[in-house]
Amino acid sequence: MKKLRKLKRGDKIAVVSPSFCAPAIFPDVYELGLTRLQNHFGLQVVEFPTTRRLDATVEERAEDLIAAFEDKEIKAVISTIGGDVQVTYVKRLPKEPFIQNPKPFFGYSDNSHFANFLWLCGIPSYYGGSIMTQYAMQSQMDEYTITYLEYALFSGGKKEVCPSSMFNEVGLNWSDNNNLIKKREYHKNTSWIINGKSDAEGITWGGCLESLDEMLRHNSEIPSLEQFKNIVLFTETSEEIPSADYVSRVYRAFGERGILKNVQGILVGRAKAWEFDKPLDITEREEYRSNQYNSIINTVRKYNATIPIILNMDFGHTDPQCILPMGMPIMIESEKNKITVDFG
């Protein structure tokens, strides 16, 4: 993997919409995120043509990604949000513009497809830190999230990843600007769930489970079985709140392809269990998470009896959010409850 340059205050950073163009629908939320990026982190925002264009084609969104990486003044690229279109065009992106101009990319959810593309180009990225979600968090940004953004953007190096003491998954409606100054309801975190006693080392690869499922379904290029021998797999699920059976089937697909036998370990992000169209109560949410985690453990153990599985971690569709490096070294020390990640 290529070594990426860290940013300095005052650097220019591209903001793009490679999937859903939420800034066109919720401009005030978007502007709040940009203000935080500029004022707190001291970075200059450069928007590209489709960042606020709801009607842009996937070809035009691809052109923005290429242009952002080829622009020598741009030092990093941040997605506004996820979506559901990248599987249709990322596979057609030319590799050379990215290989010749490696730089940090931040995004999660549907951006799993582009992060996988960069991984295959030998370019690490950062899973998390989208403008509309983490930067535009209502009331104020989470300090936990800021800490990991600082690691990813500026300081780098080997850092211990620790559980957040609190977490949130219940959103506030973006259509009401009064919500921008309200604070979400947070709950006490029960920390990680560790299954397995072995230690592990490797480089990270993974993403949103629904996106990884699409990679398998559409025969997208992913790491080879030989490469998976040096990989710690990470997954998390989205606001679609998929069933435990669905999650088990995707993991079974990884098993049947020989991936679970090869990976060095597995990290699982806290399963989001509330959405506006699925307003589960606290008891139902905890039951949902428990069912999902058990389904993952039971499925993985059919293919690999020894690797460590760390569940309920603070990455993916949860807040606050660990900005998890993808394509960088990680060390799991199970009995010490310790995970160390290289932030570049």
For every one of its 344 residues, what pLDDT tens digit does the chain have, with 9 covering 90 and above? 999 999 999 999 999 999 999 999 999 999 999 999 999 999 999 999 999 999 999 999 999 999 999 999 999 999 999 999 999 999 999 999 999 999 999 999 999 999 999 999 999 999 999 999 999 999 999 999 999 999 999 999 999 999 999 999 999 999 999 999 999 999 999 999 999 999 999 999 999 999 999 999 999 999 999 999 999 999 999 999 999 999 999 999 999 999 999 999 999 999 999 999 999 999 999 999 999 999 999 999 999 999 999 999 999 999 999 999 999 999 999 999 999 999 99
What value does the CA radius of gyration of the chain take, rounded to a whole number of Å? 19
pLDDT at 300: 98
Judge contact between 199 and 333, C-beta under 8 A: yes
CATH fold of 12-136 reads Rossmann fold (3.40.50)
Q: Tell me the pairing of strands 200-208 and 231-236.
A: parallel
Coil vs helix vs strand at 124: coil
Q: Which CATH superfamily groups domain 161-342? A: LD-carboxypeptidase A C-terminal domain-like (3.50.30.60)
Judge contact between 114 and 82, C-beta under 8 A: no
pLDDT at 216: 97
What are the contacts of 292-295 at 24+ separation with CB within 8 A? 292/237, 292/244, 292/247, 293/193, 293/268, 294/244, 295/244, 295/245, 295/247, 295/248, 295/251
Could you tell me the two tokens for 186?
A: 């947070």
Largest CA distance in the chain: 52
Coil vs helix vs strand at 234: strand
Convert 288-313 into a string of H (helix), E (strand) and C (coil): HHHHHHHHHHHHHHCCCCCCCEEEEE
Coil vs helix vs strand at 28: helix
Residues 6+ apart with CB under 8 A from 52: 17, 21, 23, 24, 27, 30
Q: In the chain, where are the structural domains located?
A: 12-136, 161-342
The phi and psi torsions of 112 (rounded to 5 degrees) equal: -55, -35
Eight-class DSSP state of 106: E
